[in-house]
Amino acid sequence: MVRPERRTKADLAVVALILVAVVVGAAVIWFNSDARATVSETAAEPVAEPPAATGIPAALTEAWRATSPATPVPVVAGPAVITGSGNEVLGHDPITGRVAWRYSRDIPLCTVGAEWDRALAVYRKSLNCSEVTSLRGPTGVRGPLRNSDAEFGTQLLTDGTYVTATGQRSFESWRSDLVRTQQFGMPPAVKNPNNNMKRPECTYSSIAVGDERAGVVENCPQEQGRITVLNTHPEDDEKPEEIFSVGLGSAAAGVVAVTEERVAVVLRDRSEVVVFDNSGAEVAHFPVRVGTPDLRANVQIESTATGRRIYWHTGTDTVALDPATLTPLWTFPDTLGPGVGFAGKMLVPVRDGLAVLDPATGDRERVIPVDRAGSPGPVQLNAVGPVILEQRGDTLVALH
């Protein structure tokens, strides 16, 4: 018979030390983890769908307001109005402004957008805006997450199918599960040097998206501006698929609108818009009054709203573009933003309120007075149910 092993005091001491080390290590990992530094307070009850707008109101009053520097435009996810400030994202009831849910981390927000009835919160780490969290609009429940290569100052552009994060050296697009579908340019950490980049030395000054495409103005050495149009979902996310790329001969260009068949580019140094087809041929051009664009993003994003038509704010006027040809249907002068469709009409921000326009002709029916307390603009609009939302700089205001 083999003599049974005996546990000595030294054995017990070693086991105790191992257990202490495991507990201390786990505590250190938890103390420094993202989970500990995250607050997720979901809605006790989902935010209710507001009633539909039944007509244009005779007057508007301020229902509520919130500080929201992380939203460049009013953000709506499902029925909820989303605001972002500091390191916190809030989901509001659109009628009352009541905070239904909140999400925060111990790192600052870069920007907040929305698509697929979810809010998309992009957080900043030391090197870039890399932490992306999706939050369900009605409840604030977390959905898919991702780590991205988005640059500081990024904004999120949506085309109804994909979301694109802007950047001066690279930009990328995501599908609804936040898997990346394309990356264009030279990201901070190049994983594939042979990534089919034709012009790796170029930077980007303006981006727009539409119909699963992205249009970008490239600034390349010894060249004055270039418009390039890409698929946002190529076969290989590391191999960009260019539809066309042509020189512009302008150093002050911005992408106004992108469709399946056309792209419109404003040349501000010429006060002109040029329209290209998918072969890169110029098919139309027209003069416009231009003003100074809003340059809060890391690239220039034209103030454009879409619906049955495309509405573009030139910096001075609002222009309705035919979605088939991207040529003007009408122009309404002296506005503060592109406008929003509401109860069958078009509401466009002007100095003294909201102009009510016939969307087919641009004829003004009347102006609903809005007191903006001297805010000079620009004003970005959105709407949910009977509530009209105005983004005035860092403040979101709900009118009802």
Domain definitions of the chain by residue range? 47-399
The pLDDT value recorded for residue 18 is 67
CA distance 338 to 166: 21
CATH 2.130.10.10 correct for 47-399: yes
**What mean pLDDT is predicted for residues 167-177?**
97
Q: What is the DSSP string of 265-296?
A: EEETTTTEEEEEETTS-EEEEEE----PPP--
CA distance 148 to 171: 10
DSSP state of 10: H
The pLDDT value recorded for residue 196 is 60
pLDDT tops 50 at residue 142 = yes
Residue 22 neighbours by CB under 8 Å, 6+ apart: none
**What mean pLDDT is predicted for residues 10-31?**
53
Q: What is the DSSP string of 112-128?
A: EEEETTEEEEEE--SSS
**41-80 confidence digits (pLDDT tens):** 999 999 999 999 999 999 999 999 999 999 999 999 999 9
pLDDT tops 70 at residue 363 = yes
Taking residue 185's Cβ as centre, other Cβ atoms within 10 Å add up to 22
Q: By the 8 A CB rule, do 41 and 348 touch?
A: no
390 to 96, 165, 300, 328, 384: CA distances (angstroms): 15, 23, 21, 25, 12
100 to 46, 54, 283, 326: CA distances (angstroms): 8, 25, 49, 40
The pLDDT value recorded for residue 181 is 97
Q: What is the DSSP string of 318-356?
A: EEEE-TTT--EEEEE-S-SS--EEETTEEEEEETTEEEE
Where residue 24 falls among pLDDT bands split at 50, 70, 90?
very low
Where residue 29 falls among pLDDT bands split at 50, 70, 90?
very low
**90-115 confidence digits (pLDDT tens):** 999 999 999 999 999 999 999 999 99
The pLDDT value recorded for residue 377 is 81
Q: What is the pTM of this model?
A: 0.89
The pLDDT value recorded for residue 28 is 41
The pLDDT value recorded for residue 391 is 97
**250-277 confidence digits (pLDDT tens):** 989 999 999 999 999 999 999 999 999 9
178 to 131, 154, 311, 335: CA distances (angstroms): 11, 16, 28, 36
**273-310 confidence digits (pLDDT tens):** 999 999 999 999 999 999 988 788 999 999 999 988 99
| Mean predicted lDDT score pLDDT of the chain | 91
Q: By the 8 A CB rule, do 346 and 359 touch?
A: yes
The pLDDT value recorded for residue 374 is 79
The pLDDT value recorded for residue 21 is 53
CA distance 351 to 366: 13
